[in-house]
Structure 1
Amino acid sequence: MSVATNLRVASLAERPDLANAMLTMEATWPAYVRAEPLLVNWAFERHAEHQLVVLDGDGDDERVIARAASVPFAWDGDLDSLPDTGWDEVLRQSMLDTYAGRELTAVCALEIAIVPGLQARNLSARTLVALNDNARRLGFADLMAPVRPSNKHAEPEVPITEYITRTRPDGLPADAWLRVHVREGGRIVKICPASMAIAGSLAQWREWTGLPFDEDGPVAVPGALTPVEVSVAHDRAVYIEPNVWIRHRLNK
């Protein structure tokens, strides 16, 4: 499949040789956003047809410039059953559903990432379209996504429930990444207030952020959508990231 005349999209099922390039592709995730590697590796191996890479160039000049990861899971179609723990839970659920032999009825997008500096090429929207097209080609009617609003980090103190109500004069979401999803037919259906939970020692958080982490209480961390809660006595800091569930109906 193709997202532009000079770009190509391939799944890892088609190009297993690109798995390492996909995993090591430069991206803009903060250092503290750390997915469980065992689950990620399992998803890549078991559901390779749901992992996409966007390629530019040919032959020795070929390179991965964007990636899109997703997994199928058993969903009953009830929006209330979408987990409040979004990203973390749906990856575990996909594994449990797969091994239990349940019918996998929907696809969940886990990530769309673009090599820094290439966002101006509209690659985010193009990669989202490719992800939707791939799920549709595989026979799924719904692609769900616990979406990380791209501009929320600038206002970590603002509740996510308030943030997602902001719109532009044209009625589209004020947030750029939410807007891309809505433009491509997605609909915001609910909040997942604890989509990703990241805990670490204060030494780890200092390494990840360069901040002192020497006082109790909330700390605003670059890139974080909400403050990180610090306990000096327990030598622990915890970040709970809220996301926004978006539904793409693929059979329209």
Structure 2
Amino acid sequence: MPVTGLHIVSLAERPDLEEAMLTMESTWPAYVRPDPILIHWAFERHAQHQLVVLEGDGDGPERVVARAASVPLAWNGAPAGLPDTGWDEALRQCMADTYEGRAFTALCALEIAVVPDLQSQNLSVRTLQALRDHARGAGYGDLLAPVRPSRKHAEPQLSMVEYAARTRPDGLPEDPWLRAHVRQGAEVVKVCPVSMTISGSLAQWRDWTGLPFDTSGPVEVPGAVAPVAVDVAHDHAVYVEPNVWVRHRLTP
């Protein structure tokens, strides 16, 4: 069913939407658990950069159907300076830059998500376009993103370097989400091999995934883009997620 009556607001304009934005249904696996303190800080301190896509005509009920979370960074423009610890480091760097009073030069997208029943409506691309427009309007020269390729989870044993290098005959990335970014003007910069690190006890991982986690070694987990390292003797497992840095240049 086509989506209609969309409008986009920021949390600065509508702080009452923070809970709905955070609890919006999405396809993120249960074990992807960003630090809630850092997320709350980013949403509160940089509310103007948290975009919420609403479905509704403005006179009746509203439904959050997509979100775009981002934070500003004081980036020097050097691709080599983009951290290997992509997603995690973007939040930490934003906090450090904010408290040190550094001049922000780029906006970094942390997430663009769409409710599952509307993922066939091209809403992710429309939300990306909205975030690009927002970043440009706010005066940033670049929109950066540690992108989680949309189909990498189907080949968790393949290295992200190999996966990100795959292209179609027309030269565009084979992965649909990377391709969407490139079609919007982005360039693929490099892989960030330690973009997000998630650790937990074996009981936690069993709860998150429904898997037994009773054997040490690499375990393929639904939705994960790389295997989870399991250590039964020490009762923990660690997931290290690689992403791909992309850069949208917003100025000529």
What's the TM-score once normalised by structure 1's chain length?
0.97
| Number of equivalent positions | 249
1:1-252 pair list within 5 angstroms = 6-57=5-56, 58-252=58-252
Post-superposition Cα deviations, 1:209-235, rounded to whole Å, max 9, x if no partner, equal 000000010000000000000000110
Residue identity matched to 1:53 = V
Alpha-carbon offset, residue 16 of structure 1: 1.0
Post-superposition Cα deviations, 1:142-175, rounded to whole Å, max 9, x if no partner, equal 0100000010000000011110111112211110
* Structure 2, unpaired ranges of 5+: none
Change (3 A) 1:5 1:138: farther
Moved over 4 A (4+): none
Q: Give distance in 2, aligned partners of 1:203 and 1:183.
A: 42
Provide the identity percentage.
69
| Native 8 Å contact 2:150 2:177 kept in 1 | yes
SS in 2 for 1:87: helix
Residue identity matched to 2:33 = R
Alpha-carbon offset, residue 121 of structure 1: 1.1
What's the TM-score once normalised by structure 2's chain length?
0.97
Q: Judge which range, 213-222 or 159-168, deviates more.
A: 159-168
Alpha-carbon offset, residue 59 of structure 1: 3.3
Q: Give distance in 1, aligned partners of 2:178 and 2:66.
A: 18
SS in 2 for 1:59: coil
Post-superposition Cα deviations, 1:10-30, rounded to whole Å, max 9, x if no partner, equal 111111111111011111100
SS in 2 for 1:65: strand
Q: Judge which range, 157-166 or 52-61, deviates more.
A: 52-61
Q: Give distance in 2, aligned partners of 1:251 and 1:138.
A: 12
Alpha-carbon offset, residue 5 of structure 1: 7.2
> What RMSD over aligned residues (CA atoms) do the two structures have, in Å?
1.0
